[in-house]
Amino acid sequence: MASSSNNSPSFKSADIDERAIRREKPEELVKALAEAKADAIKLNLVDGCADRDIRDPPTLLITSDQVVVSKGVIRERPRSMEEAREFIKAYSGDRALAVNYVLLTNLSTGATKGGWDIPEVKEGDMTCVAGGLKLTHPSVLPFIKELVGTADGVRGLPRELTEKLIRESLEVNS
């Protein structure tokens, strides 16, 4: 969360059971997870925003989620080292899509804006981990042929999309 009054963001954990939320399509799954995270954080806000003065600067809540899709299989965070190794093997020889959804909630107005970012990593025999491709790891770099999208999108919080959503949210406030 960031309030433009002090420009110091605070970070809160959504503390939700992500595995309890299921959708067939990766785009629907990451959207549902980002929305559930926002709902959980809003419920647990200590200072709340309902009693804010309309002249107060807006407070923004940013939630997001990411999955990786390869060979039609949605991969989330692995539960164990063994599962992580299975994921890594499964990515070999195929492209990987990092499906991101960013949800921006203006806590001052209740308005929300969201969007997807889906960078694609094309590779030969690439090593990566579920939930985010380690593009900068020295053992991975030789295997990446092409990145269609941005590195921050692969890491899980696409900067350009996030900045766009913030601008749009603040324009509504002006």
Domains in the chain and their CATH numbers? 2-8+24-173 (3.90.950.10)
Sign of CA dihedral 117, 77, 120, 1: positive
pLDDT tier, 7 (very low <50, low <70, confident <90, very high otherwise): low
Sign of CA dihedral 18, 30, 112, 118: positive
- How confident is the model over 102-126, as a mean pLDDT? 82
For residue 104, list its beta bridge partners: 62, 113
Tokens describing residue 98 = 């990092």
Secondary structure of residue 31 in the 3-state scheme: helix
Q: Is the pLDDT of residue 60 over 70?
A: yes
Tokens describing residue 163 = 């900045």
| Residue 168 backbone phi and psi in degrees, to 5 | -60, -40
User: Do residues 102 and 157 make contact, with C-beta atoms less than 8 angstroms apart?
Assistant: yes
pLDDT at 125: 41
> What is the rounded CA–CA span in Å between residue 24 and residue 52?
39
